[in-house]
Amino acid sequence: MVDWAKLRAAVLTIGGAALFVFGCEEQKHPWGKRTRDSFGDGRFQIVRVARPPNMLLYDCELKQPVVEHVKSWATRSVYVFLVDDVGKFWKVDYRTGTVTLFEKADAAAAEDRRVFEKLVQ
């Protein structure tokens, strides 16, 4: 019975390690000390800046901010949904780098609109 317990423990350990290794995307752009969240390979990061104090979505590949004054965000599939301080709505595909801006949540598709509505509550 002891041999079965050891075998089962070994299989579970190897299986868990495989899921971790194959389930995680390689971080091409590592987290910084001001990073609050990172998406995909780390290209897009929510970063806290001190002056003026706020958060922004930063594109580490292009080395420039994408969305400034980020109020809230959520991820769904390969997308990051953001709302900024002035009430604009942003959808970013963090794999392709495509950024879509919506002046109002009503302009987005129904599925995206539901995500945006949860962010503004």
Task: Give the chain's domain count.
Answer: 1
Give dist(CA 5, CA 7) in Å, integer: 5
Residue 83 has pLDDT above 50, yes or no: yes
Q: Within a domain: residue 12?
A: no
Q: Within a domain: residue 53?
A: yes
Mean pLDDT of 86-103: 96
Residue-range definition of the domain harbouring residue 67? 27-120
pLDDT band (50, 70, 90) for residue 2: low
| Environment class of 96 (CB within 10 Å of its CB; exposed 0-12, middle 13-18, buried 19+) | exposed
Q: Within a domain: residue 48?
A: yes
Q: Within a domain: residue 64?
A: yes
Q: Within a domain: residue 102?
A: yes
Neighbours of 61 (CB within 10 A): 13
Q: Within a domain: residue 22?
A: no
| Mean of the per-residue pLDDT values of the chain | 87
116 touches 81 (CB < 8 A):
yes
Residue by residue, DSSP assigns 4-63 as HHHHHHHHHHHHHHHHHHHHSPP-SS---TTEEEEETTTTEEEEEETTTTEEEEEETTTT
Mean pLDDT of 53-68: 95
Q: Could you tell me what percent of the chain has a pLDDT over 90?
A: 69
Residue 26 has pLDDT above 90, yes or no: no
Q: Within a domain: residue 87?
A: yes
Q: Within a domain: residue 32?
A: yes
Q: What is the CATH number of the domain that holds 107?
A: 2.40.10
Residue 59 has pLDDT above 60, yes or no: yes
Give dist(CA 81, CA 99) in Å, integer: 10
